Amino acid sequence: MGKVKIKKKSTLIDMTAMSDVTVLLLTFFMLTSTFIQKEPTTVRTPSSVSVEAIPAKDLVTILVSAADPNDKSGDPTLTEGKIFLAFQGDSTIKSEDLRKDILKAAISTYNQRHPSKKLSNPTEAQIDAFSKIQMFGVPFESLYEVLDMDPVARDKYLSDIQNPKVGIPINDNKEKKVEKYNEFQIWMDALAKVAQKGRTDAIEKNKLDEYNDADKEKIRDLDILYNAIYQGNSIAVKADKDTPFMTIHRVFDNLQTMGLNKFNMITNLKAEEAVKD
């Protein structure tokens, strides 16, 4: 009897094609992605039908914390309305450099405002640490303490919004005088100063005349940050949809006081049925 020979088949699967596909996918994700920003607390933004995308550069994000649902104290106002700031530069002014300049300007304004509680000049290491924080929010009193922490401990410290020492102090101040500024206004003022300085530097460097029409156009192109701030493209308020308006109003009021009347509110896209007539 002839035995039926079973042909042995190789179980090897050729993975080359698979590898090609995955590499392609990987390239796609690497090129299209923008990393999620590290934020101390998460907020659920309200939705709108506006299709305007938020600019990726030259942006100040003002994060207003929502009431912490895990807070046992029963008083939502303790964790609600804490302010965090994130500064984003562009290709001409790098985010790191922008943050360094803002820190220096803010500390000098703070010292001017509080002659009795003067802060020393920050060390190089502290400035460097500040330039690497994406989003921060601590009062000036504990600023250096937080900057001296290692990054992991700092993130942990910042995300503990029940801590009364977290969040930039903000109160109702409707006077635009440097002696009256609250800490939030000091930071916004520092940003405006840095932008203003960038503008004057650019004008000087290129020997432009502000009153000449041809030059005006050039100045506008040169100084993106300055224009972005005063034309309302670069300030974005990010707040939770269930936060009472009263809390948000305080932020709006402070921005108005600083003369920053135009700004953005970050929202989610909402699909809406079209109107048929």
Q: Return the range that interacts with another protein (CB under 8 A); candidates 72-80, 98-106, 163-171, 198-206.
A: 72-80
Contacting residue, 145, 164, 174, 196, with another protein by CB under 8 A? 174
Q: CA 21, CA 234: separation in Å to the nearest integer?
A: 39
- 52 contributes a contact to another protein by CB under 8 A: yes
77 binds another protein (CB under 8 A): yes
Q: If binding is defined by CB under 8 A, does position 202 make contact with another protein?
A: no
Q: How far is the CB of 130 from another protein (least distance, A)?
A: 24
Burial class (CB in 10 A: 0-12, 13-18, 19+), 3: exposed
Which residues face 88 on adjacent strands?
59
Verify binding: residue 11, another protein, rule CB under 8 A: no
Query: 259: closest CA among 171, 179, 168, 181?
Result: 181
Closest-CA residue to 210 (of 197, 220, 225): 220
Rounded distance, CA 68 to CA 242, Å?
12
Q: How many CB atoms lie within 10 A of CB 192?
A: 19
DSSP, collapsed to helix, strand or coil, labels residue 239 as strand
Q: Shortest gap between Cβ of 131 and another protein (angstroms)?
A: 22
Is 36 near another protein (CB under 8 A)?
A: yes
Binding of another protein at residue 243 (CB under 8 A)? yes
Q: Can you tell me which of 42, 121, 201, 259 binds another protein, judged by CB under 8 A?
A: 259
CB nearer to another protein: pick between 82 and 100: 82
Query: Which segment (15-23, 92-100, 116-124, 150-158) binds another protein by CB under 8 A?
Result: 15-23
Distance CA 84, CA 61 (A): 8
Interacting residues with another protein (CB under 8 A)? 12, 14-19, 22-23, 25-26, 29-30, 32-36, 45-54, 74-77, 174, 176, 232, 236, 239-249, 252-253, 255-257, 259, 261-269, 272-277
